[in-house]
Amino acid sequence: MDGWTSHIPESPSPIDRPRVRDLLSTRLRHTRVLLVTAGAGSGKTTAVAEWCKRRAFGERIAWVSVTRDASPAHFWWQTRHALLSAVVSPSTVGGDLANSAGQPPVTRAGKAELDRLRRTITMIGAPTILVVDDLHYLRDVGVLEQLRDLIEHAPPDLQVVLVSRSDPAMRLHRLRIRGELAEVRARDLAFDTGEVTRLFAEYDVTLSDPQVRALLDRTDGWAVGLRLAAMSLEPDAVDQGITRFTGDERTVMEYLTGEVLSHVPEPVRRFLLRTSVAERLTVSLAESLGGGTADALLARLAREDELMIRATRDGREYAYHPLLREMLYHQLSLEDGALRDQQHGRAAAWYAAGGDVAEATRHALLSRDPEVSVRVLLTMTIPEILAGQGDTAMTALRETAGRGGDPLVDALHAAARHAYERDAASLSADVDETGRHLAGLPTDVAEAGQTALSLLGMTSSVLRTGGAGDLDEVRNVVRRLREGALALSPAAARYQPVAETHLGVELMWTGQTAESEWHLRAAADNAEHQRLEGLRTQCLSHLAVLDARNGALASARHRAESALREVGDTATAHLALAQVSLQQADFDQAARHVVLGLAADESMMDRRAHLAVRLTAAELLLAHDAPAKAAATVAQVRAEAEETQAGTPLLRHWIDLVEADARLAGADYATVAEQLRDRVGDGDLLPAELIRLAQAELGLGRTKQAEQLLQPILAEEPTSVAAVEAWLVQAAVQDRRHDEAAAEDARRHAMDLAAPERLRLPFLRTPGKSRRIELAVDAGAAAPALLEALTERELTVLRYLPTMRGNTEIGECMFVSVNTVKSHLKAVYRKLAVSNRREAVNRARELHLL
């Protein structure tokens, strides 16, 4: 039996791979030893053989191929004769070389052959490369250590290339430390996109870029896998062939079984089958699936054969080769389908405990266990989708469509999918179907089911009308989540911010702004704790709209910009920024946000926001002196709101205000007065409506009535916008009475209120002196020099000082702690050379900073 060859093997590659040859040359150029390790079929022998044949530097090549049944004597004897064949002529070697065709003498011991090899190595006088292929078959640790010793003490003319499926049991650390060892791994030998394209061209198959990427994803660039795929694909059905080329394809199974699994002990084989349900493994997950300690086993498998399992770069996870995992999974399904389902259930529990919604969903549905599937769908999947960030969960749902086999599982699967896809009609039917199958569930799951049905119903309502439905029902859901049987469960924590967001948004659009702000703040905090970024930014966007409507423009801008940074375009965030820019008379920016708001995708809660954005467009038309166009836009919005049932109290109020402004701009005072007068006695006019009525009365010459309407607002100053508008109308009243001092005081009061938030629009809407004063102040006189320039954050704090907000409230508006506010104030006082808040305001006005 000839267990050895001393010549370079004939293993031609179907394509030339200069990239790999150059890599081998570069790695060995400045080292003595090159270790090439990769799994079966990775092309390592072919790559090294082709590289040896094309060497152009004059080195001699001695090639040794190890076989499974090699003894130490065989190894040393053949290594010696491979070297002799490379460096001297056959006539010089004489009888020794003649013996190389047969076996070494049976009486010759391994130690004797090793001593002869040492003497031969000292005779090498020319650059020589010794290649030891299939080193993984040499398992005698003593022989491996002797080989290492030979390498370390070899003359400089000898370089060694070790080719193996796994790292040899040799202490190579000293060579690594001295920089005398280079390595080539499976990832270096993997085919790249260009090589895949050229390989398949050899088989008359032309690939597109997506097809190349699909094959690389499927094979990991594995040489044999790609060649098997190339041989199996039909040129006119490439996509179908790639889809069918999996680990359970016959040729792939035969190769992997023969070259990989046939050498694996039975306990390891069982471990591989049990863990094949997971695409990636941690030690903890492997132990949950394999039923025993897995740390050392995973590390050994990754070290011995990267084709079988490979560690990620940080060493925290392991991954089977995709084709191997598919083959193992197919084998598990054939041998024990019930065990496969149980393993998916175990994986679902492990991923659920770690909060991985997508993987928990996928494995729960693949487990075919209704109890596991229902629990995961109700407590993880549906809350994630309702929170607006179910992309990965939806991928899992699509992968497992039709796998449930249980009426409740199928109904919940459909409901989750249709909620994500915003299919209102189908979702409504899913809610009804799910309700018919909830009986008999464990208490916590049943409660989660009822909550899910309520919230899914609200979502369906939002999709149809823009609103979540009955406000009392939304309140009841929030209360149940806080106080009911579900309150202490993990599911409640996930549903709570969803329900509270629904409540906060509904309260905002019904005009209950104070309560709305409280719930939206609570929902935002909860969502941040749960890492539900989409839901948190939804809350921030609506809080920004509330701020903008109340005149807290700095806070509105901060919240809306934060929302846009975190999730991209939303109509609600652009609405808030359009309102801020409008109030600050930055009409170009306002128009930009109107366009972006109208172009933004409508999410579940944005239909009313889109209508409000169109109202902002009407307000911009008014700012550009186009009242007729503004009135036409308002009429369209009103009709659409009524048609889609999106006309909430806040939106109707907003429509009425912009319509009144359009009429006032067109001097149609009588119509505005007629529409609003009858409601004065009922006490249900809001401050903004009282101001419009006062303007109409003033336009009709009813000065006294106008002043009377303004008095409650001037006394309370409900918001900065309404207060500024009221004081400017009061100035107009005093102008009508020719009381210039009183008019000037009113305008100055309006300017003081407008300064912190840089409100300009009310001044531009007011004819005469108010407009001229605003423009003059905006231009400003040259300001005296500061001791030191204020930072942007210090300027923001400064703008809050003329208001009634305390330090804590300022911090809340700026999303910073009260201590941070105090630190900014200290810096402001120092730079302005003042000692208190009032002095800071006065000094800032002198410097035209306010």
Model confidence pLDDT, tens digit, residues 50-79: 888 887 566 788 898 888 777 787 788 888
Count of Cβ atoms closer than 10 Å to residue 503 Cβ: 25
Beta strands in 3-157 (DSSP E): 33-37, 60-65, 128-133
Mean pLDDT of all residues in 194-206: 87
Q: Which helix (H) or strand (E) holds 288?
A: helix 283-290
CA separation for the pair 192, 187 (Å, rounded): 10
Q: Quick check: 767 pLDDT over 60?
A: no
Judging by DSSP bridges, how do beta strands 181-184 and 33-37 pair with one another? Answer: parallel
Bridge partners (DSSP) listed for residue 733? none
What is the token pair recorded at 32?
């003595």
CA separation for the pair 444, 619 (Å, rounded): 50
CA separation for the pair 431, 408 (Å, rounded): 11
pLDDT band at 458 (very low <50, low <70, confident <90, very high): confident
CA separation for the pair 105, 567 (Å, rounded): 77
Sequence letter at residue 328: L
Model pLDDT for residues 264-319, shown as the tens digit of each residue:
788 888 898 999 999 888 889 999 998 778 888 888 877 766 666 766 666 678 88
What is the token pair recorded at 405?
């086999």
What is the token pair recorded at 703?
């000065």
Model pLDDT for residues 155-169, shown as the tens digit of each residue:
888 889 999 888 888
CA separation for the pair 648, 292 (Å, rounded): 60
Share of the chain above pLDDT 70, in %: 87
Q: Can you say how many angstroms the Cα of residue 677 is from the centroid of all Cα atoms in its chain? A: 54
CB 553 within 8 A of CB 758: yes
CB 173 within 8 A of CB 206: no
Q: Which helix (H) or strand (E) holds 72?
A: helix 72-87
pLDDT band at 95 (very low <50, low <70, confident <90, very high): very low
CA nearest to 306, candidates 286, 289, 320: 320
CA separation for the pair 515, 228 (Å, rounded): 66
Helix (H, G, I), strand (E, B) or coil at 468: coil
Mean pLDDT of all residues in 210-222: 86
Q: Which helix (H) or strand (E) holds 452?
A: helix 443-465
What local confidence, expressed as pLDDT, does residue 306 receive?
61
pTM score over 0.75:
no
CB 132 within 8 A of CB 163: yes
Bridge partners (DSSP) listed for residue 322? none
Q: What angle do CA 318, 320, 324 make, to 5 degrees?
A: 170
Q: Quick check: 467 pLDDT over 80?
A: no
More confident residue, 39 or 516: 516
By mean pLDDT, which of 46-60, 288-302, 574-588, 759-773 is the weakest? 759-773
φ and ψ at residue 619, rounded to 5 degrees: -65, -35
> Residues, the chain, total?
850
pLDDT band at 740 (very low <50, low <70, confident <90, very high): confident
DSSP codes of every residue in 112-134: HHHHHHHHHHHT--S-EEEEEE-
Cα dihedral sign for 589, 590, 593, 595? negative
What local confidence, expressed as pLDDT, does residue 657 receive?
93
CA nearest to 171, candidates 156, 181, 163: 181
Helix (H, G, I), strand (E, B) or coil at 272: helix
Task: For residue 691, count CB atoms less than 10 angstroms from its CB and return exposed for 0-12, middle for 13-18, buried for 19 or more.
Answer: buried
Query: What are the angstrom distances between the C-alpha of 494 and each of 198, 374, 693?
Result: 51, 16, 47
Query: Any residues with CB less than 8 A from the CB of 748 and at least 6 apart, and which?
Result: none
Cα dihedral sign for 715, 721, 727, 730? negative
CA separation for the pair 116, 503 (Å, rounded): 88
Query: Any residues with CB less than 8 A from the CB of 467 and at least 6 apart, and which?
Result: 461, 506, 509, 608, 645, 646, 648
What secondary structure letter does DSSP report for 137? G
Alpha helix locations (H) across 178-265?
186-189, 193-202, 209-219, 223-232, 238-244, 250-259
CB 692 within 8 A of CB 662: no
φ and ψ at residue 380, rounded to 5 degrees: -130, -55
Q: Which helix (H) or strand (E) holds 612?
A: helix 607-623
Helix (H, G, I), strand (E, B) or coil at 482: helix
DSSP codes of every residue in 384-409: HHHTT--HHHHHHHHHTTT---SHHH
CA separation for the pair 370, 406 (Å, rounded): 6
CA separation for the pair 747, 744 (Å, rounded): 5
Q: Can you say how many angstroms the Cα of residue 616 is from the centroid of all Cα atoms in its chain? A: 33
Mean pLDDT of all residues in 417-437: 87
